[in-house]
Structure 1
Amino acid sequence: MNFCASPSWSQYKPVLVVLHGEQSTPGRIGRLLRELGAPLDIRRPRFGDPLPENLHDHAGAVFFGGPMSANDEEDWLKREIDWLAAPLKENKPYLGICLGAQLLARQLGQKVDAHPEGKVEVGYYPIHPTEDGRGLCESPFPNRVYQWHREGFACPKGAVLLAEGEDFEAQAIRVGEKAFGLQFHPDVTYEMICRWTITSLDRMNHPGAQSRQRHIDGWFQHDRSIARWTIEFLKRWLGAPDFKRMAPAE
């Protein structure tokens, strides 16, 4: 367990942060949660960290992305899917990002599949909010968001579709009032984009993927609107007051 808090104050119980890479970080999401006064309880179940029995001692949970498939058969991955019943039953805030959203879909009984034409979303792609998604928070959904995935899912039964994509349907869903799944990556920072596009260069060779230069250009074109939306979404998700001091971008 790794507790990271704002050095001066904290007003929330810790947020459970589940990471799937040995060197992964919670990126912008982690920074903004700390600025909102939420300590981070960082765990890596893939590498042996246990999950809590429930969220009684946590303000919520965020499950991040990873290089594996939501359909893999590893025991730790199955335990994560099963564990997601806890925040749903307790009506506690849950946020799944990319793989974390796909695990939520699987918990709800929805298939997670590759695109029938083998397409991927790796780079910046348009998304379209639904009627339910337009009033989600104070800032509108950004027109384009950062993606890094080869599988996706349709909106599960019992969930509300908040935003949809052109090649992968479900880009944002809500389950109940406090559980959300985002297929895209509002957590990504410029440093993360630079690292991913070097260490996983092969992903740029898949159908539909964008070149490394388009990733870099897309950051400067689209990230400010993504950052504004992410701030407002996290305030809504955590039930936070309006902190004017929060920076709009990395």
Structure 2
Amino acid sequence: MLVRTPPSKPKVLIVLHQEHSTPGRVGQSLRRRGFELDMRRPRFGDKLPQTMDDHAAAVVFGGPMSANDPDAYVRREIDWFDVPLREKAPCLGICLGAQMLARNLGADVAPHSEGLAEIGYYPIKATETGKAFMPWPDKVYQWHREGFDLPSGADLLAEGKHYRNQAFRVGPAAFGIQFHPELTLAMLYRWTTHGAPRMQLPGAQGRRDHFAGRSVFDPAIRMWLENFLDRWIGTADAPSALAARISA
């Protein structure tokens, strides 16, 4: 009897920066959409692909390091964004990932001029370009003390008070966001436990405010993420108009 091997699922490249990091809600949603997750950790020796031929998209997540760090893997990751940008493949940078994308495009990444951090829930406001793209939540979860300048040629989609540039798009399918829509409740417990000292930084919110904010603001963030993924990649069986146009 002939046994047919089922076709493999399309893969999304997931780039993580700590040994036990997970893609959280982003990964959960991508799996529900029919994608396989190809998780790699360049910090620990994993190599990144030289082409996006085997991947439908890439997501580069955050981490405690800086896009300005001299470590070789940081430099390699920044340079690696050349691959999806050159091929116009869907890619998304989250927090550190967005800062790496901005650095690749020639923009600066730096601390706030007054030393302020955003750790907790903070308001953002969509630009006119952002509003035309999709609806945005009023507040988002942040965990950073550096921000990025807007790269030349990029469209600013959302802005904030202390760190102006909160979301941008460059080309047809490359996005950078400063905030963390991937946050699950388990991640919130873990981050606020292991990262407790950072909640003492100027501008940061206390642990209680993180949990109180989640009960109020998380439903809109969850809805934003699903709407964004609908537009950005769609599903394995029904790519978004943007992803389908790129692959055509």
TM-score of the two chains, using structure 1 as the length reference: 0.90
Kindly provide the amino acid, as one letter, of the partner of residue 41 in structure 2: R
Residue 245 of structure 1: aligned partner: none
Q: Which protein shows a greater Rg?
A: 2
Q: Percent identity?
A: 55
* Selected match of 2:153 from 158, 170, 174: 158
Residue 13 of structure 1: aligned partner: 10
- Matches of 2:74 and 2:38 in 1, distance apart? 19
| Structure 1 residue 11: Cα displacement | 8.3
User: Is 1:101 the equivalent of 2:87?
Assistant: no
Gaps of 5+ in 2: 1-5, 240-248
Determine if contact 1:172/1:183 at 8 Å carries over to the other structure: yes
Residue 248 of structure 1: aligned partner: none
| Structure 1 residue 39: Cα displacement | 0.6
- Matches of 1:165 and 1:29 in 2, distance apart? 22
| Structure 1 residue 169: Cα displacement | 1.2
* Selected match of 1:39 from 36, 39, 47: 36
- Matches of 2:59 and 2:196 in 1, distance apart? 27
User: For each residue in 1:1-55, what CA deviation from the matched residue of structure 2 results, as whole angstroms up to 9, or x when unmatched?
Assistant: xxxxxxxx98852000000000000000000000111110000000000111111
| Structure 1 residue 136: Cα displacement | 1.9
Residue 246 of structure 1: aligned partner: none
RMSD: 1.4
* Selected match of 1:62 from 34, 55, 59: 59
| Structure 1 residue 156: Cα displacement | 1.0
Alignment of 1:205-220 (within 5 A): 205-220=200-215
Counting matched residue pairs gives 232
* Selected match of 2:177 from 179, 182, 186: 182
User: Is 1:173 the equivalent of 2:168?
Assistant: yes
Worse-superposed segment, 231-240 or 169-178: 231-240
* Selected match of 1:83 from 77, 80, 84: 80
| Structure 1 residue 59: Cα displacement | 0.2
Gaps of 5+ in 1: 1-8, 243-250
| Structure 1 residue 155: Cα displacement | 1.1
Residue 217 of structure 2: aligned partner: 222
Determine if contact 1:62/1:94 at 8 Å carries over to the other structure: yes
